[in-house]
Amino acid sequence: MPTETFMNLPVEKKNKLIMAIKKEFARVPYDKVSINKIVQEADISRGSFYMYFKDKEDMLGFILSKYYQELIATIKKSSNDHEGDLFAIFRDILRFTADFGMEEDNIAFCMNIFTSDKVHSCITAELSFRDIKDKNYTWIRPYINSSNLNINSEEDLYDILEILISVTQKAVMQLFLHIEERDKIIKKYDKKIEILKHGMVKENL
């Protein structure tokens, strides 16, 4: 996240830099984002940029902060609406991400960032309170009712979460690569979630 130096910038200068960052992320895929272009657009020195952000990933985390905040709010609401149903929560996560990304101010930006494997890794790290070593899924675990899951330990739950996150990330990438097929992609995702929820083997076998 940005340094205190950035947070203390005059509002006009801060907003100019934020707009330059968003413009660059909308222009090219994540791995081709140019810090040089950002500093030129914002009319600051490259040295000043590194007084505000540690690196490109740090900058992305800040730009995505609105998404993170709204995502957590979506998870909380979904948990309340569906009594902590893990699978319903993930369905709502996908729909929220699709709606967020389709907003006029976000669409070009999101088409680039949500189709990048690197960005998905960054998002996962950010939701783990910026520590990729945090395997306790503290961003979602408190909202899950695990009493109806066929698990023997918390580790089993974390394995389930890894699978669901992987399936969801793939669906998000497909959504922003093929926006015109949104309904079809969401329907297919829901089907996969149902398969994961109910299992792949008949009960009498």
- pLDDT tens figures, 87-114: 999 999 999 999 998 888 788 888 888 8
Angle between helices 65-81 and 86-102 (to 10 degrees): 140
Mean pLDDT of 171-198: 95
> Using 50, 70 and 90 to split pLDDT, how confident is the model at 130?
very low
pLDDT band at 121 (very low <50, low <70, confident <90, very high): low
What's the confidence (pLDDT) of residue 196? 96
pLDDT-derived band at 184 (thresholds 50, 70, 90) equals very high
Q: Which overall architecture, per CATH, does domain 4-63 show?
A: Orthogonal Bundle (1.10)
Note the pTM of the prediction, 2 decimals. Answer: 0.83
**CA 193 to chain CA centroid, nearest Å:** 19
Which conformational region is residue 30 in: left (phi greater than 0), alpha (psi within -120 to 50 degrees), or beta? alpha
* Cβ 30 vs Cβ 113: under 8 Å: yes
Q: Is the pLDDT of residue 136 over 50?
A: yes
Q: For residue 59, which of 50, 68, 70, 67 has the smallest C-alpha distance?
A: 50
Confidence at 84, pLDDT banded by 50, 70, 90? very high
pLDDT value of residue 124? 55
pLDDT value of position 139: 87
Phi and psi torsions of 134, nearest 5°: -75, 105
Rounded to an integer, the average pLDDT of 72-96 is: 97
Domain boundaries, the chain: 4-63, 65-198
